[in-house]
Amino acid sequence: MGFLKKFMEDSDESNTDISNNEDGFYTVSKEEALKEADKTGNKMILLEPRAYSESQQIADHLKARNSVVVNLKRVTSDQAKRIIDFLSGCIYAIGGNIETLGVGIYLCTPKNVNVQGKITDDSDKNKDNKDSDEIDW
């Protein structure tokens, strides 16, 4: 009986140690969390380049394993095309992915980020409606 009592006391102590560790995990300060994010590259960066020359900054964020949302509405269509071409090459080199979020808005992710789901565009709906109107029953 003494052995069973000793075993139960030891297991109670180990349970309190685990709960203390879990509490410690959730009580990380904001500064410590930001430092950890810097180490692991778990940031989401939002950028609105105004010139092609800012595309290197986007590539640097991707190389640091940060996800980047790029809004190209402040550049000309020619500059936007050049930026997308440059970013496509960068993303290919790092094994990442690029997704269209909307007109002129792109999500660029490094290899360590999985993107799930799909955003439909209004033009896709109009295209589907036109296709269905053209079918004769």
Q: Distance (Å, rounded) from C-alpha 70 to C-alpha 74?
A: 11
When pLDDT is cut at 50, 70 and 90, the band that residue 112 belongs to is confident
Q: Confirm if 64 and 75 have CB atoms less than 8 A apart.
A: no
Mean pLDDT of the chain: 77
Q: State which amino acid sits at residue 106.
A: Y
Query: What token pair was written down for 105?
Result: 């808005």
User: 16 pLDDT band (50/70/90 cuts)?
Assistant: very low
Where are the alpha helices (H) located in 41-121, listed in sequence order? 55-63, 77-94
**Can you tell me the distance from the alpha carbon of 64 to that of 57, in angstroms, rounded to the nearest whole number?**
11
pLDDT band at 1 (very low <50, low <70, confident <90, very high): low
pLDDT average, residue stretch 128-134: 53
Return the CATH superfamily for domain 41-115: SepF-like protein (3.30.110.150)
The pLDDT, as a whole number, for residue 45 is 93
pLDDT digits 0-9 by tens, 81-95? 999 999 999 999 999
> Rounded to an integer, what distance in angstroms lies between the CA atom of residue 52 and that of residue 61?
16
pLDDT band of residue 68 (cuts 50, 70, 90) is very high
Strands (E), 49-112: 67-71, 97-102, 105-109
**Mean pLDDT value of segment 69-75:** 96
Tell me the whole-structure pTM to 2 decimals: 0.62
- Domain parsing of the chain, residue ranges: 41-115
Q: What's the pLDDT score for residue 35?
A: 66
